[in-house]
Amino acid sequence: MQYQGKIYRPWPEANSLLIQTTLGCTHNKCTFCDMFREKRFRIRDIEDIFKDIDEAGSTMHRVESIFLIDGNVLALKTPFLVKILEKITATFPECAKISLYAGLNDLRRKGISNKWFIPQRL
Ligand code: SF4
């Protein structure tokens, strides 16, 4: 796995596999936050992301939860993000949850597709 710079894991993701998809944060200006100050935002090459997923797939027995890092992964264009989601679900069919940090404006720009909508289990 190729993690670059400081990595932050929110506590609800304690058991999640972390896949670095972006570096840094698109905003990176909140005065109270220095999580990604050292990094300039960029999207990792999809080949490098896939390499990390393949490596995890060959070394980890069972992955039920994945957290895509760094900041604001939802800034990715939808087709790019879908390729990553499809790669994850093909590699880890047992994975029940994929989560990520998202900026509100990027969330609002996304459409809704039934393909990726899985109702929460109560
Ligand atoms: S990670 Fe979140 S809190 Fe930190 S600078 Fe980016 S938008 Fe602000």
Atom 4 of ligand 1, nearest CA residue:
33
Confidence of residue 119 (pLDDT cuts 50, 70, 90): low
| H/E element, 17 | strand 17-20
Grouping H, G, I as helix, E, B as strand and the rest as coil, residue 69 is strand
The closest alpha carbon to 71, from 114, 116, 110, 40, belongs to 40
Structural contact between residues 100 and 73, judged by C-beta atoms closer than 8 angstroms: yes
| H/E element, 105 | helix 104-109
Question: What is the 10 CA–ligand 1 centroid distance (Å)?
Answer: 13
* Domains contained in the chain, CATH given: 11-104 (3.30.750.210)
What would the pLDDT profile of 10-36 be if each residue is shown by its tens digit?
A: 999 999 999 999 999 999 999 999 999
Which atom of ligand 1 lies nearest, measured to the CA of 28?
5
What would the pLDDT profile of 41-83 be if each residue is shown by its tens digit?
A: 999 999 999 999 999 999 998 999 999 999 999 999 999 999 9
Q: What pLDDT does residue 61 have?
A: 87
Question: What is the 103 CA–ligand 1 centroid distance (Å)?
Answer: 9
Lining residues, ligand 1, CB within 6 Å: 25, 27-28, 30, 33, 35-36, 71
Confidence of residue 118 (pLDDT cuts 50, 70, 90): low
- Pocket test of ligand 1: the residue of 33, 67, 68 to mutate, having most ligand atoms within 8 Å of its CB, is 33
Q: What pLDDT does residue 122 have?
A: 47
Question: What is the 109 CA–ligand 1 centroid distance (Å)?
Answer: 18
Atom 8 of ligand 1, nearest CA residue:
30
CA dist 3 to 8, 49, 83, 113, Å?
A: 11, 10, 20, 30
Beta bridge partners of 43: 22
Grouping H, G, I as helix, E, B as strand and the rest as coil, residue 101 is coil
| Dist CA 9 CA 105 (whole Å) | 22
